């Protein structure tokens, strides 16, 4: 155990949120164990990695036994099918496996789940804006609802607490995590520029005009650590976002200027069909610019991009509860966009 006396198990630590969280935990002197589906090919100075398939219950329980005296569980894992289809039963079973393995550990203090704006039906159609944690659940089945009920039930009568956080469109720096809005837009812009075209918005006018909120990954990890350790946040649900709202129409010139391009209005199309046809152009661009990744399919899930950009209604959330309970951090979204694109360029992931 480190000097902090805290040991984190990050379930699903290889994705965008997991990587940012591990950096934050390491900076705060936590001992860290992370899980991922595949056997790790590298050794990390900041944390230990366990290969874990949560859908193989027996093997997963055995692997989780290697984690030791965990104090905090951060559950970030997702089970999905190709085409950005997230499976309800598999995601509930994954959490069940983790809880059954760890819920009676004497050391356990907190279990945290990361959900999102889909809690409020954000992908189903227009919903009450800004969304509030007190809004009633929708009369639909969703694994968020099942997981939330499960963690609350398993905590009952035990000594540990729980929290759930609901970010939206988490924005940060990561590779190997194709459901990544900022990297997807950066790759789209780079390929559009390579074709000599203006930067059009690849969805509808309604989606271009809708009011949105997003969540910076570093802000989210600060909120995660706060919610996992502050008694004021015990057994609570929190929306987490940058604190401002915007429309794509407002920030599209910011994207265009970052690539030295002229912004253009909406031109709806399916990126999942168009972008794979440009795989060879990306390879040429990667070779010419010396980029770190030359395979387009490993960088971006275009089904995710289509689904994220398609929503033609407002998607905002209230942060009143988060503020009342003591977390007040905020991020300027326009500045965040430029910072993230700059970082991807410096890392040789996007062309300059």
Find all residues with CB under 8 Å of 32, minimum gap 6, and list them.
Answer: 7, 8, 10, 22, 25, 26, 46, 47, 48
Instruction: Give the C-alpha separation, 229 to 232, whole Å.
Output: 9
- Report whether 339 contacts 216 (CB < 8 A): no
> Of 9, 77, 23, 13, whose CA–CA distance to 228 is shortest?
9
pLDDT of residue 42: 67
CA distances (Å), origin 267, targets 45, 204, 205: 46, 7, 8
Q: What is the pLDDT of residues 167-182, one digit of tens each?
A: 999 999 988 788 899 9
How many CB atoms within 10 Å of residue 258? 19
Token readout for 68 is: 């030791």
pLDDT of residue 47: 86
- Going from the N-terminus, what domains does the chain have, and what CATH number goes with each? 7-168+217-239 (3.40.50.720), 170-213+245-317+328-346 (3.40.50.720)
- Report whether 269 contacts 206 (CB < 8 A): no
Q: What is the pLDDT of residues 73-131, one digit of tens each?
A: 999 988 765 554 567 888 999 999 999 999 999 999 999 999 999 999 999 999 999 99
Alpha helices per DSSP H over the chain: 16-27, 57-64, 88-102, 143-155, 181-194, 205-209, 217-229, 248-258, 271-274, 279-289, 296-299, 302-309, 320-324, 333-346
Q: Give the mean model confidence (pLDDT) for residues 248-257.
A: 95
For residue 281, cis peptide bond before it (omega within 30 degrees of 0) = no
Q: What is the pLDDT of residues 282-304, one digit of tens each?
A: 999 999 999 999 999 889 999 99
pLDDT of residue 30: 96
């Amino acid at each position: 155990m480190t000097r902090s006396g805290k040991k984190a198990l990050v379930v699903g630590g290889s994705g965008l949120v997991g990587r940012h969280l591990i950096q934050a935990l390491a900076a705060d002197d936590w001992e860290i164990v992370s899980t991922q589906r595949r056997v790790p090919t590298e050794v990390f100075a900041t944390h230990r990695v366990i290969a874990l398939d949560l859908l193989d219950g027996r093997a997963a329980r055995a692997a989780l036994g290697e984690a030791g005296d965990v104090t905090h569980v951060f559950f970030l894992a997702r089970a999905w099918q190709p085409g950005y289809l997230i499976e309800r039963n598999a995601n509930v079973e994954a959490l069940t496996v983790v809880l059954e393995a760890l819920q009676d550990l004497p050391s356990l203090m907190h279990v945290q789940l990361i959900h999102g704006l889909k809690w409020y039906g954000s992908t189903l159609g227009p919903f009450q804006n800004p969304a509030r944690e007190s809004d009633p659940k929708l009369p639909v089945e969703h694994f968020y609802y099942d997981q939330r009920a499960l963690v609350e039930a398993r905590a009952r009568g035990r000594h540990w607490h729980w929290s759930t956080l609901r970010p939206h469109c988490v924005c940060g720096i990561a590779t190997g995590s194709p459901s990544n809005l900022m990297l997807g837009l950066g790759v789209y812009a780079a390929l559009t520029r390579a074709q000599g075209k203006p930067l059009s918005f690849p969805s509808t006018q309604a989606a271009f005009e809708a009011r949105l909120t997003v969540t910076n990954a570093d802000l989210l990890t600060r909120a995660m650590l706060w919610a996992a350790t502050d008694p004021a946040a015990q057994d609570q649900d929190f929306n987490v976002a940058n604190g401002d709202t915007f429309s794509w129409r407002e920030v599209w010139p910011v994207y265009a200027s970052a690539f030295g391009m002229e912004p253009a209005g909406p031109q709806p199309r399916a990126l999942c069909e168009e972008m794979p046809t440009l795989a060879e152009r990306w390879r040429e661009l990667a070779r010419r610019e010396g980029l770190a990744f030359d395979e387009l399919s490993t960088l971006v899930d275009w089904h995710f991009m289509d689904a994220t950009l398609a929503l033609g209604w407002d998607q905002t959330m209230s942060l009143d509860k988060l503020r009342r309970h003591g977390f007040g951090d905020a991020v300027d979204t326009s500045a965040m966009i430029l910072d993230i694109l700059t970082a991807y360029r410096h890392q040789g992931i996007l062309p300059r």
